[in-house]
Amino acid sequence: MVARLVVLCEYAIVNQFNTVFANDSSTIISLPVNLKARLFTLLSHRGLLTDDNLSFLLNCRTRTFDFRECADITDRSLLIMARYSLNSSTERDDSTKSALNPTILHFRCANVTDYGVVQFVQRYPSLRKIRLQNCSQITDESVITIGTRCSHLLELDLTGCLQITDRGVDALRQITHLRSLALSQTHITDEALISIGQSAYNQTLNEINLKKCAEITDDGFLFLLQHCPNLSTIGFTQCPKLTERSRQNINPQTHQFSYLVWSIPV
């Protein structure tokens, strides 16, 4: 009964959150950590987190920072989280232990830039999954920082990041356990596929998405297949320079594919 009452209270706060926050933000600050974590998740799914209210809900239990639905989150929030610490109100020493422990960062908007992402990634190198979908202002600078700092990253999604090039992908070479990489709609060429094939994660990579990568050719794709033997999921639709040669070289004897989506221009 008590648990059910707590859940009802949570949803009551979420449903009237803007009013509660405007009238009595101190109440939000004083909530127990477990309730803040729950509210953080509910509010993020409804797109109600903003630069103005985020700091009131930060807590040590939230691991997934999913801002896909939050249109009002910008670099300002990333900087707040990058500077957030157990003694943030009084402590000025950069060595202060952080009160946050994020493992997943997920954006799907055009509001964030390299500046915010770089500051956040430098602060939290233990990130396991980074998804920056349709972040049109993100460039190779962010990817280079990720490659330099997040050596144990498992998943990187750069779908729709139109400014990403071979230079950024090459900076990921030293990541050791990357399993999933999405480069759809980026401006990579065969050079990026060669970098992936020569990377430290070429044996652990099992999923890659290359949809709408207009400059990759059969040579780069075949190099990727040859040097990444554990690929099981590949998407390469709408890649105009790939031909039947690529499809013919997808060999079930060398790769155990569980999911394969392709389109070859006629």
Q: Is residue 85 predicted with pLDDT exceeding 80?
A: no
Q: Is residue 7 predicted with pLDDT exceeding 70?
A: no
Contact 193, 225 (CB under 8 A): no
Query: Against a cut of 0.95, is the pTM above it?
Result: no
Query: Which residue has better confidence, 72 or 97?
Result: 72
Average pLDDT in the 171-199 region?
97
Does the residue 57 lie in any domain? no
> For residue range 43-57, what is the model confidence (pLDDT) as tens digits?
999 999 999 999 999
Phi-psi region of 160 (alpha: psi -120 to 50; beta: other; left: phi over 0): left
Q: Is residue 124 predicted with pLDDT exceeding 90?
A: yes
Number of domains in the chain: 1
**Structure confidence at residue 92 (pLDDT):** 39
Does the residue 30 lie in any domain? no
Q: Collect contacts of 39-42 with beta carbons under 8 A, ≥24 apart.
A: 39/10, 39/13, 39/14, 41/66, 42/10, 42/11, 42/14
Q: With pLDDT > 90 as the criterion, what percentage of the chain qualifies? A: 69
Tell me what the pLDDT averaged over the chain comes to. Answer: 88
**Structure confidence at residue 229 (pLDDT):** 92
Q: Is 240 exposed, middle or buried (0-12, 13-18, 19+ CB in 10 A)?
A: middle
Average pLDDT in the 243-258 region?
77
Does the residue 191 lie in any domain? yes
Nearest to 260 by CA among 224, 223, 207: 207
Does the residue 235 lie in any domain? yes
Does the residue 133 lie in any domain? yes
Nearest to 67 by CA among 29, 27, 102, 31: 102
Domain holding 213, by residue range, is 103-262
Query: Which residue has better confidence, 182 or 13?
Result: 182
> For residue range 24-49, what is the model confidence (pLDDT) as tens digits?
788 888 888 988 999 999 999 999 99
Q: Which helix or strand (DSSP H or E) is residue 143 part of?
A: helix 140-149
Does the residue 89 lie in any domain? no
Average pLDDT in the 247-252 region?
77
Average pLDDT in the 88-110 region?
69
> For residue range 186-221, what is the model confidence (pLDDT) as tens digits?
999 999 999 999 999 999 999 999 999 999 999 999
CATH number, domain of 193, equals 3.80.10.10
Does the residue 9 lie in any domain? no
Does the residue 11 lie in any domain? no
